[in-house]
Amino acid sequence: MPRSPAGSYAVHPMEPAARILIVEPDVRIREALAECVRSMGLLVVTARDGIEAVAQLREGKPPAAVLLDMQLPMLNGNGVLHVMRGDPRMAAVPVIALTQAGESPLLPVSDQLRKPFDLDEIAKRLARLQRAAAA
C-alpha cells in the first residue's frame, strides 16, 4: 500500500480540470492514488488492466498524464506504452511508470517510481510534470 506520512498531497496544482489516467490493478492502491490526484484539484479516470487503459486513452482528449503500473492483467504496462507511443495523439503524454524491484519499462517514460511508493512523492512528480509542460 502506498505510504504518506503527512497525509497531505497538495503540492503545486496542475492546470484546472487536467485529467489523469491511473492504471493500477490493485483496488486499494488505485483508490489511494485517485484520492491523492483529486486532492490536487485534478480529474481522475481509472483503469484496472491494460485493455481498459487503452480504451480510456482512445476515448476523447488524451489525459494530461498517466500513472501506469507495469504489471497489469490482459495487457501489461509495456503493451500500453507500445500503443501510446505508436499513436500520434498519445505519443507525448507523460507517463509515470509504477514498477517492482528489478522491473523497467521497455519504452521511454517521463518518470518511474518503485513500489511501495509514497503518495506525497506521486504528487510532487505530477506537479513537476506540469511545470515542465508549462515551460
Residue 116, C-alpha cell as written in the block: 511501495
CA distance 31 to 46: 9
pLDDT digits (tens, 9 = 90+) for 89-102: 999 999 999 999 88
Give pTM, 2 decimals: 0.86
Cα–Cα distances in angstroms (integers) from residue 21 to residues 5, 49, 102, 113, in the given order: 24, 12, 24, 16
pLDDT at 119: 93
Model pLDDT for residues 8-64, shown as the tens digit of each residue: 444 444 444 689 999 999 999 999 999 999 999 899 999 999 999 999 999 989 999
Q: Taking the domain 19-134, which CATH number applies?
A: 3.40.50.2300
